[in-house]
Amino acid sequence: MGEDASAIRQEIEETRSRMGDTAEALGHKTDLPARAKDRAGSLANRVSGATPDGEDVKRGARRAVGVAQENPLGLAVAAAGAGFIAGMLIPATRIENRTIGPVADQVKGTAVKTGQEALERGKDVAQQTAESAAETAKEAGKEQAEGLRKTVKSDARSSTSSSKAKKRTRTKKPAASASGRSKPRARR
């Protein structure tokens, strides 16, 4: 009987513990204002982490202005393409479909073909421009290298000739007098 009483007491303690946990969980579930506050806080943290700060926005704006200034034609083509895509994505109304449906489909088809051709031509032009720029850079590099080579060669020649001239002046003997002897130096 002693064992049974201690086992029963143990079971009662475990049941009380589980009931306390259950009551706490139910209390949390029924406390809607606290749950809403927690949820709002976590959403605010997520949103603040996802949105750029003022410096990021300024940096992006400066970069966009730089691209626009460097390549205004590319920007215009991109804007036209984005406008075309946006126009294609906006659904047509029933009245538009009824009155200009077949013509609109034909125009859209033609526009898609023209857009694809323009895109291909743009790619070709970009590739040709890149190749031309690379070729120009190579030629300029070769010209610079040739000019540098000539300058170095010229400097080396002038340096060599001036050092030979200095050696010649150092190795010359003093001029002899009529008697065949060199003039004695004056003592000081």
Q: Each residue of 150-169: pLDDT tens digit?
A: 887 777 777 676 666 666 66
How sure is the predictor about 181, in pLDDT bands with cuts at 50, 70 and 90? low
Residue with tokens 């009245």: 95
pTM of the model: 0.30
Residue of higher predicted confidence among 43 and 145: 145
- In this predicted structure, what is the pLDDT of residue 184? 56
Please report, rounded to a whole number, the percentage of residues in the chain having pLDDT higher than 90: 0
User: Are residues 81 and 115 in contact, defined by beta-carbon separation less than 8 angstroms?
Assistant: yes
- In this predicted structure, what is the pLDDT of residue 162? 65
Residue 104: Cβ within 10 Å count: 13
How sure is the predictor about 38, in pLDDT bands with cuts at 50, 70 and 90? confident
Instruction: Select from 114, 105, 110 the least CA-distant residue to 81.
Output: 114
Determine what percent of the chain falls in helix, strand and coil, rounding each to the nearest 5.
Answer: 85, 0, 15
59 pLDDT exceeds 80? Answer: yes
